[in-house]
Amino acid sequence: MALLGRSLTLAGLVGVGLPMLPVLAQADTSSGQPASAAALSDNLELYLDLTDNAETESFPLIPTAEPSPAPRPGRRPTQVPSSPPLPPSQRPRVVQPAPLDSGPGDSPSPISGDPAEQIAPAVIELSPTGRPPNPVVFLAMQQELKNLIGRFESALIMANSLDAPTALTLPDRPPVLTAAADPVNVAGGRGADLHPTLGEAQQLLNDWDGLLAAGKHGEVRDRWLASRTALWDNFPTDRPINQGELRAVWLDRGTIVRARSPQGLSAIFDKLAAAGINTVFFETVNAGYTIYPSQVAPEQNPLTQGWDPLAAAVDLAHQRGMTLHAWVWVFAAGNQRHNRLLNQPAAYPGPLISRHPSWAAYDNSGSLIPRGQDKPFLDPANPEVRSYLTRLMTEIVTNYGVDGLHLDYIRYPFQDPGANRTYGYGEVARWRFQSMTGVDPVTINPRPDSALDRNQRIQQQVLWERWNEFRVQQVTSFVQSISSTLRRQHPHLVMSAAVFANPEHERLQRIQQDWGAWARADYLDWIVLMSYAEDTSRFERIVSPWLVNESFGSALVIPAIRLLNLSNSATLDQMQASRDLPTPGYALFAAADLNTELNAVLAQTQSGRPPGPTTPYAMAASRYAALQREWSWLLSQDRLWMDRNALEPWISAVNSLGHEFDALAQEPSRRNLETVKVELARVRSSVNQGMLVDTANSGYRLRSWQHRLRAIEQLLEHGEKTHTKSE
């Protein structure tokens, strides 16, 4: 599973010509007087905009300090795609990279840090030197504490309302909002009444500006760290979360290999079921090997020969009420790190390319593997490659009762066009593009030589864009083709993909992955964002543009959390952030990193067999019932405020919608669906219109309710498509 690469350094900011602003991560200063709140706020917004742009433009795929190799002219392929492979003299020269553990004397040495393996850095990372952070960092710390208070309250209210009735009732003396009520005081919140740690955090926010003005930076820092730790430590983990949600995990090859048998695999599924996991992405094709004995693939993984892990996994998942999706590497066909486990030479390209050299793609210097990376890729433009992958995936979904197919490495390798390091020059790709344009793409430079005249430079730029569009289309057309083929045979199969959450332009230029188009065209049912981040602030900044600001038709967009090197507290915090955003659930990467302590916490909060509803309408009804319980509990605690003339009809509308959701879940029909949609829109419009909540962060509370209502709408849209398939 590739990781999200969005690292940010001060050098990166300078490299793209951005002004030297203080970097949130590791930014220190001993300056004295704080700037005004307004100036800091403007500075923070400018800073965050610039850092986002810096991440987009200077995403450190491969360092560019050393000179880039000139593109090789290469020979023009003379055969059509269905002809025999080119003779060796006409193939792009294969320059095998050195092993990853090369010594300093080896040449060429790989560049460390595969961009696909990088994790988004924390927004706030305080220096261990103890020096006070920059004023801009203090502003970010303040905002993060407010958001953390909101997430903590979300978890607390959901836990406290666990046994509340779903039917709202009008209190004897309803806390109505009158002309005499002070909205500021009402919204200011009695957070301390919910939990003592909220009072301490609120007090720090009240003292914040005064402490900074007095130069007490160390006290702010220490109290901020203490408040964050206290809130994390007191997340309610003794009660279950009673709402339907997708809880997915990637069950990786290494964990499967270590299971050794169906009995060993059974223990793993017991662990996942105890943690409330209801969806498993089971690594079925990895580095060109299948995990099962295949009639299509050249070789089963040698470490799983003698048994069929996929057959066992399907049975084990279904016995526990879980769904199982076959996780397949699509275009990545080998892995140098895996070669060592299989006693293969470091340069071994995997079982596919070793048997079919003409299926390989190359970079523009003729290398099978781009510098700094460790995986060779297949040529998506090659019809033999596409035919093989189609037959392989058809075998999986036909011979095994999998519930879904999960596409990984559905892209080209990472590239750096600005440094003239590009990829995708397979024999067939070059032939096809040259037949269309008369130009061998390996001769096109994404950064035309300044010595060329203006018309020549424009021509090169136009050709480069055509070449990039050609590669994007190869990936997109394969997604369309495999989706159409498999759904025609298996209408209820869930098609999903693990994708990078980077901005669209960056993805199209650097990995040719246009997943937004796939989702909107209904090629996929789920989009799983590899939104791996070191802290919740960065996690929210990665996923929010896609969850809050974009729409992808009936496709569900699911954020993912990487467990490795992430504390359990930070993991639970990111899970809560997902629950407060418009998404139906989350995915965890990976089962190998699900430690005993975290598993125990999840067992306390996500327990249940079967682990909650997973069909769209039932999940939507369950999530709405959770909101009803929260509103019911807040009303009983005199914490939900609304105009006297609006409160009673709103309660009536909320209760009526609850009954309609139950009817839809029990008897899916277009009539019931349309009724729910109309009433849901009415209820959603009321939240934020004259409603106030007496909690520590009422603004966050109202936003989270809007997001959760939007997630319910998305489940209805997704369910409508699912229901249409079955009619």
pLDDT in tens, 466-500: 999 999 999 999 999 999 999 999 999 999 999 99
DSSP H stretches of helix in 612-643: 616-636
Mean pLDDT over the full length of the chain: 83
pLDDT, one tens digit per residue, over 691-701 is: 889 999 999 99
Beta bridge partners of 533: 120
Per-residue pLDDT at 44? 38
d(CA 508, CA 514): 6
Would you tell me how many other CB atoms lie within 10 Å of the CB of residue 42?
12
DSSP letter (8 states) at residue 275 = T
Nearest of 671, 661, 649, 679 to residue 715 by alpha carbon: 661
Per-residue pLDDT at 127? 74
Question: What's the whole-number mean pLDDT along residues 280-293?
Answer: 98
How far is residue 219 CA from its own chain's centroid?
Answer: 36
| Residue 505 burial (10 A CB sphere; 0-12, 13-18, 19+) | exposed
Q: Among 15-29, 152-166, 301-315, where is mean pLDDT lowest? A: 15-29
pLDDT, one tens digit per residue, over 601-632 is: 999 999 765 456 778 999 999 999 999 999 99
Which CB contacts under 8 angstroms, 24+ apart, belong to 114-117? 114/5, 114/372, 114/373, 114/374, 114/414, 115/5, 115/59, 115/60, 115/61, 115/62, 115/372, 115/373, 115/414, 116/2, 116/3, 116/5, 116/373, 116/413, 116/414, 117/2, 117/3, 117/5
Q: What is the pTM of this model?
A: 0.85
Residue 519 has pLDDT above 70, yes or no: yes
Structural domains present in the chain: 135-161+163-170+190-238+623-724 (no CATH), 246-436+474-610 (3.20.20.80)
Per-residue pLDDT at 549? 93
Q: What is the DSSP string of 188-226?
A: H--HHHH-HHHHHHHHHHHHHHHHHHTT-HHHHHHHHHH
Band of pLDDT at residue 216, cut at 50, 70 and 90? very high
Name the helix (H) or strand (E) containing 649. helix 644-666
Band of pLDDT at residue 189, cut at 50, 70 and 90? low
